[in-house]
Amino acid sequence: MQQPDPEQLKQFEDSLSGPLLTPESADYDEVRQLWNAMADKRPAYIVRCQDRADVLASLNFANHYQMEIAVRGAGHNIAGNASCDGGIMIDLSLMTDVEVDAGARRVYVQPGVTLGGLDAATAKHGLVVPTGINSTTGIAGLTLGGGFGWLTRRFGMTVDSLVGAEVVTVEGGIVYASADEEPDLFWALRGGGGNFGIVTRFDFEAYPLADQVLAGLLVFPLEQAESILKQYREQVIDSPLECNAWVVMRHAPPLPFLEESVHGTKVVILALCCTGDIEEGKAWAAKLEAFGSPVGTHVGPMPFDQWQQAFDPLLAPGARNYWKTHNFTELSDEMITVAVDFAEQLPGPECEVFFGLIAGKANTVATDATAWPCRDAKVVMNVHARWQEPTHDGSCIDWARALFRASEPYASGGAYVNFMTDDEGGRVEDAYRENYARLKAVKRRFDPHNRLHLNQNIQPD
């Protein structure tokens, strides 16, 4: 990497609308921090972009001096690719405008927007974009990796709602990608990650959603997990698309509706969200409650954007995190046994295993319609190791890897790249399956020298 002299650096800084930070800046340490504390990196420069002109200037500056490039949206990515050591962080987190065209059911979103910001803007119009489950997640990384959450069964993946994107290319151009303009780039952006350019605006189709959804938690002792998972497999996966429930196995957090004696014990939780008729949702939730003998329940009507914030306290920034993931077309008896066995061996109070249900509209889309290829997946497993002290790195990471290996024989192909850690670069081709060759071709066109490689990287050669 070449180093700009002070005059060249000053010229670059003067060309920007947003601030340029260096390690000497007062707020450098605060801004460089990412959600995952394991990613503790120190870029030489941080550009806090205010608009696409800042993004373009930052790319040109980085290319001129051959700097390593990291692109940050909300900084929530598990792999920590939003930063780098010694290069430049192009920070988009100040670009947070959301424009809603309610009549056309279109939402125009800048890349620094979090899911909470998007939900707040669309809820005013009785609309929603299907995204994830944590309000502090960034829309940019979520979308570029595929995107799934409570609404996926009903409305599809986040990329299925993407209708266009404004992109700053590595070579300094600005293009609009859609089904009609730059269709290959548009296809690649819908699940191919940040490999092809920097998106400065996402254009989404939005869907009507009622003011209230039925949502909440059903908490059972872990001893009932195997029975509950088998009933879940038989009765939930094929439920009406308006109904969704995820399985979480972990130590019980100190939730106010749980008796104190339950706090810290190992539990299996059914987290549910019904976006159809409230009374029908209550009847469905009652069936789930009958799967076992709960130690606590908390289910009721609430605004969807409020439910989207329910898990924020368990996913606050600053902890150390390590994930492993598999897709499943079915949950076999053997797989259920493996998952429960490892849940009984949780290495820490914040570690968990969850199964997210996506079976529904996403399965009706052709494998090659978007870069995200796993259209046969009905359930996604995330092995979420989370802890506070570096001294626990070994035990938590070993547990996650062991569960990943033990469950691999029962998994289907592909993977959700947003759940892949920075040590899984060799898994990228398997993650994209039959779409990988086409992704490589798009990468060769838009980033032939692989300047944007801090991602789940698709190499152009």
Q: Output the pLDDT for position 2.
A: 77
> Position of tokens 């605004």?
303
Interior angle at CA 113, CA 71 and CA 124, nearest 5: 170
Local structure of 170: helix, strand or coil: coil
Q: What is the pLDDT of residues 111-146, one digit of tens each?
A: 999 999 999 999 999 999 999 999 999 999 999 999
Local structure of 140: helix, strand or coil: helix
Q: Output the pLDDT for position 397.
A: 98
Q: What is the pLDDT of residues 261-293, one digit of tens each?
A: 999 999 999 999 999 999 999 999 999 999 999
Mean pLDDT confidence for 384-407 = 98
Element (H, E) at 229: helix 225-235
Domains detected in the chain? 6-91 (3.30.43.10), 98-209+434-446 (3.30.465.10), 213-419 (3.40.462.20)
Q: Output the pLDDT for position 33.
A: 97
Secondary structure (DSSP) of 293-309 = --SEEEEEEE-HHHHTT
CB burial of residue 50 (10 Å; 0-12, 13-18, 19+): middle
Q: At what angle do helices 333-343 and 393-407 cross, to 10 degrees?
A: 170
Element (H, E) at 339: helix 333-343
Residue 46: which pLDDT band, with cuts at 50, 70 and 90?
Answer: very high
Interior angle at CA 141, CA 323 and CA 85, nearest 5: 75
> Residues of the chain with pLDDT > 90: what percent?
98
pTM beyond 0.95: yes
Q: CB count, 10 Å around CB of 86?
A: 12
Q: What is the pLDDT of residues 303-317, one digit of tens each?
A: 999 999 999 999 999
